[in-house]
């Protein structure tokens, strides 16, 4: 017992010394910051001063005086160290010794302070030749960036331990003898009953609450046994209820589609569900960390801080996370309040990235449709007004104007048809009738349909496919005709006069591949990923001269995807483009 008390008291004394060192260390860091603030103002008031040995000596003298003052106040050795390890002052060294002392950068406590803010070590001091306990702190103020260190000789601690030993061991020995005597007397009366109660308690620890303890005599031990029996029954019921409730909550928590984060009153994370770790791609350990350490977003930190000072209601906020992919999250946060004290908070994360993308697509679609409709409508309106104002009587101009109106009406009608077709494809209402389709026949039909347009520009449109090549695909003939026609039509429109457009058909591992290659103007590489977007045009000024709705390639993409295939594009500016698609073969 005495050794136990001695050990605890020695440990307590040692810990008190460490605590006092730490308190004095924090106070000393403030002294250094304030002192250096004054010194820096003095230095800054003198311009064009060369750094000389005299200046350095003056600086060390100032800091050494401060170290002496700190050492005298704290009762410990005080050392002030620059961030590069240079000793600026030491309460146990003279100025001459400080000028010659070795660099302290790689002292254990200094390295710990630089990397973690605080450092501690017990070691032999090569400077003053004593075993010392060191405490160091990194000072990062506006005016000073370095380390303040306090140290106590271990011989003082050992002396304190010896004093404790002289008092505790004799007293402890006497206490042990008295305790043995009293324990022996008490054991004569209580050993059996207490052993049975002890066994009952061990069963409780193991989770067995079925054991009961009965005592015929009605004494204090019997009352204790009865209390243990009642406690066992109540604990059994409580544990069952808690287990069921915990299982229910865990099942709900883990199966939630939305991400959930729970944090304590210090703002440190205690729990996150798999939905949140998946959305934010979190793989590292999160327990005990601040949200900002896991999710690099200042808005989340501000939201958690706000919750910890807000006792009622729910705060909702939309934020954007730049992780592996950009995510738009709607967060609902609420505090956890117990007995009118905030014990933490909960954040629920709704991933609304796709919703915001759909909203943006809808806005862009409406804007593009409005723009595309406005051009032909404005043209029709302008020519109609001209005819009304008198041009109708000029037969030659009237016919020309009417032809323009008819042409723009056809363009408007085609645009509306394409929008309706695209809408059906994207909504899934346009049902695909899958049959065996010969892609060579479809290609020949497309070439015949486009011949007049291609001949006007003297463009050669050819089919490069041997009759021996298997060309039967699984799909809807009309839909595939529309897809291929759009590709060939696009190629002819964007190929200059006397150019070439070739259709290639081949079989690739269970798929039929169809490629349309032209010698047109080509597409910049950075724009290739966008060519299948609705209303996207590579060169809008040039594209306006070419008739079209801007929906053809988007229709192609949706038709091919509805067939379980995919579209591809390769292009070189000034040389031409290669638009391809693959669909399952029969």
Answer yes or no: is 175 within a domain: no
Clarify whether residues 8 and 132 are in a common domain: yes
Domain limits for position 403:
356-427
Element (H, E) at 319: strand 315-322
Same domain for 247 and 272, yes or no, is: no
Sheet holding 566-572, edge to edge: 460-464, 500-508, 511-518, 576-584, 566-572
The H or E element that residue 226 is part of is helix 220-255
What HEC string does 240-268 produce? HHHHHHHHHHHHHHHHCCCEEEEEECCCC
Q: What is the pLDDT of residues 47-98, one digit of tens each?
A: 344 445 565 677 788 888 888 998 888 888 999 999 999 999 998 888 888 8
The reported pLDDT for the residue numbered 220 is 62
What's the CA gap between 196 and 229, in Å, rounded? 12
Residue 170 lies in a domain: no
- pTM value is 0.41
Which of residues 328, 351, 374 is at a domain's end? 351
139-184 pLDDT tens trace = 887 767 889 999 988 776 666 666 666 666 666 677 777 777 777 6
Higher pLDDT, 125 or 466: 125
How do beta strands 566-572 and 511-518 pair? unpaired
pLDDT, tens digit, 9 for 90 and up, residues 153-164: 877 666 666 666
Mean predicted confidence (pLDDT) in 314-329: 84
Q: Within a domain: residue 474?
A: yes
The pLDDT value given to residue 368: 63
Residues 394 and 520 in one domain: no
- Separation of first and last alpha carbons in the chain: 90
Do 361 and 269 belong together in one domain? no
**What is the number of structural domains in the chain?**
5
On whether the CB atoms of residues 439 and 469 are closer than 8 A, the answer is no
What is the gyration radius of the CA atoms in the chain, in angstroms?
43
Same-domain pairing of 84 and 123? yes
Shared-domain flag, residues 38 and 132: yes
Residues 413 and 536 occupy one common structural domain: no
Q: What is the average pLDDT score of the chain?
A: 79
Q: Which of 120, 142, 159 is the last residue in one of the domains?
A: 159
The domain that holds 314 is classified in CATH as 3.30.450.20
Of the pLDDT bands very low, low, confident and very high (cuts 50, 70, 90), residue 13 is low
pLDDT of the residue at 119? 92
> What angle do helix axes 439-456 and 477-493 make, rounded to 10 degrees?
30
**384: which residues sit within 8 A by CB, 6+ positions away?**
405
Residue at a domain's end among 303, 319, 351:
351
Which pLDDT belongs to residue 542? 46
């Amino acid at each position: 017992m005495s050794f136990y008390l001695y050990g605890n008291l020695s440990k307590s004394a040692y810990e008190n010394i460490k605590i006092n060192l730490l308190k004095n260390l924090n106070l000393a860091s403030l002294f250094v910051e304030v002192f250096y603030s004054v010194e820096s103002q003095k230095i800054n008031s003198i311009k064009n001063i060369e750094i000389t040995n005299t200046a350095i000596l003056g600086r060390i003298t100032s800091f050494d005086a401060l170290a002496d003052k700190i050492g005298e106040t704290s009762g410990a050795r005080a050392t002030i160290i620059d961030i590069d390890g240079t000793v600026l002052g030491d309460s146990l060294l003279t100025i001459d010794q400080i000028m010659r002392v070795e660099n302290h950068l790689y002292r254990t406590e200094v390295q710990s302070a630089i990397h973690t803010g605080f450092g501690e070590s017990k070691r032999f001091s090569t400077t003053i030749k004593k075993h010392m306990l060191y405490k160091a702190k990194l000072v990062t103020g506006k005016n000073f960036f370095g380390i303040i260190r306090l140290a106590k000789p271990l011989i003082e601690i050992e002396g304190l331990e010896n004093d404790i030993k002289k008092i505790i061991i004799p007293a402890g020995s006497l206490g042990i003898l008295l305790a043995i005597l009293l324990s022996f007397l008490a054991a004569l009366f209580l050993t059996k009953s207490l052993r049975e109660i002890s066994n009952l308690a061990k069963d409780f620890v193991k989770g067995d609450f079925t054991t009961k303890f009965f005592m015929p005599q009605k004494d204090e031990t019997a009352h204790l046994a009865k209390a243990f029996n009642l406690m066992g029954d109540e604990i059994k019921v409580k544990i069952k209820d808690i287990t069921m409730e915990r299982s229910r909550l865990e099942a709900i928590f883990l199966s939630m589609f939305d991400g959930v984060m729970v944090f304590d009153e210090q703002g440190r994370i205690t729990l996150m569900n798999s939905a949140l770790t998946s959305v934010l791609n979190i793989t590292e350990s999160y327990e005990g960390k601040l949200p900002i350490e896991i999710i690099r977003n200042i808005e989340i930190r501000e939201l958690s801080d706000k919750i910890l000072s807000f006792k009622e209601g729910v705060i909702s906020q939309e934020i954007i996370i730049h992780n592996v992919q950009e995510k738009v999250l709607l967060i609902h946060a609420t505090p956890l309040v117990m007995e009118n004290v905030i014990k933490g908070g909960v954040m629920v994360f709704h991933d609304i990235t796709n919703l915001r993308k759909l909203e943006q697509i809808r806005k862009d679609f409406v804007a593009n449709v409005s723009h595309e409709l406005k051009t032909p409508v404005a043209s029709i309106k302008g020519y109609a007004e001209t005819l009304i104002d008198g041009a109708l009587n000029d037969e030659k101009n009237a016919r020309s104007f009417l032809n323009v109106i008819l042409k723009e009406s056809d363009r408007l009608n085609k645009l509306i048809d394409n929008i309706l077709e695209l809408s059906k494809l994207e909504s899934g209402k346009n049902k695909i009738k899958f049959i065996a389709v010969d892609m060579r026949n479809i290609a020949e039909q497309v070439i015949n349909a486009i011949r007049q347009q291609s001949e006007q520009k003297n463009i050669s449109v050819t089919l490069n496919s041997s009759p021996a090549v298997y060309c039967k695909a699984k799909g809807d003939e009309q839909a595939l005709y529309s897809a291929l026609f759009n590709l060939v039509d696009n190629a002819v429109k964007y190929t200059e006069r006397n150019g070439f457009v070739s259709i290639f058909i081949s079989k690739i591992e269970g798929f039929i591949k169809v490629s349309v290659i032209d010698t047109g103007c080509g597409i910049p590489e950075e724009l290739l990923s966008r060519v299948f977007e609705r209303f996207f045009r590579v060169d809008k000024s040039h594209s306006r001269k070419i008739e079209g709705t801007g929906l053809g390639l988007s229709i192609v993409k949706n038709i091919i995807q509805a067939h379980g295939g995919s579209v591809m594009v390769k292009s070189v500016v000034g040389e031409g483009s290669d638009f391809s698609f693959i669909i399952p073969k029969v």
